[in-house]
Amino acid sequence: MSGLFQGIQPLSQALGFHMDRHNVLATNVAHVETPGFKPKDVAFPESQDFGQLLSKTITRTHEAHLSAGEGGGVTRGTVIDSPDAQGGLDGNGVSLDIEATKIAENRLRYEVISAITSAEFRQLSFAAGDGR
């Protein structure tokens, strides 16, 4: 029975990764005018072992921020300093153009993976209904 869902698990992890990346990129946009803010990104894991990565959480930088238990906080990649960061006069490295491009690219990838996942579920539904 577990073999039926074998194709769903990697797709689920990929969707989670792109959702996590969207949240990090959206945070960058929210801090576009915060002096000294350094933008972050999420690096896709080099290894295929997502088990270790699921246990990592985004670091809380202030006690008023949500903890991992409150807001999810689990990432399927590694949060890194954005390699595209550009320093402004106030030390803010966020470029709206770069962040908008990253968000658009990430959204497109999410939509493609979502369509593939939907097709997998339709096939499972078809099989469960004995081809009806």
- Over 90: is that where the pLDDT of 27 sits? yes
Write the DSSP symbol of residue 124: H
Is residue 42 within 8 A of residue 74, CB to CB? The reply is no
pLDDT of residue 69: 40
**Three-state SS at 103:** helix
* Backbone phi, psi, residue 90, to 5°: -95, 10
The 10s digit of each residue's pLDDT in 47-77 is 544 444 333 334 556 666 554 444 444 447 7
pLDDT tens string 107-127: 999 999 999 999 888 888 888
Q: Kindly report the backbone phi and psi dihedral angles of residue 80, in degrees, each rounded to the nearest multiple of 5, phi listed first.
A: -130, 165
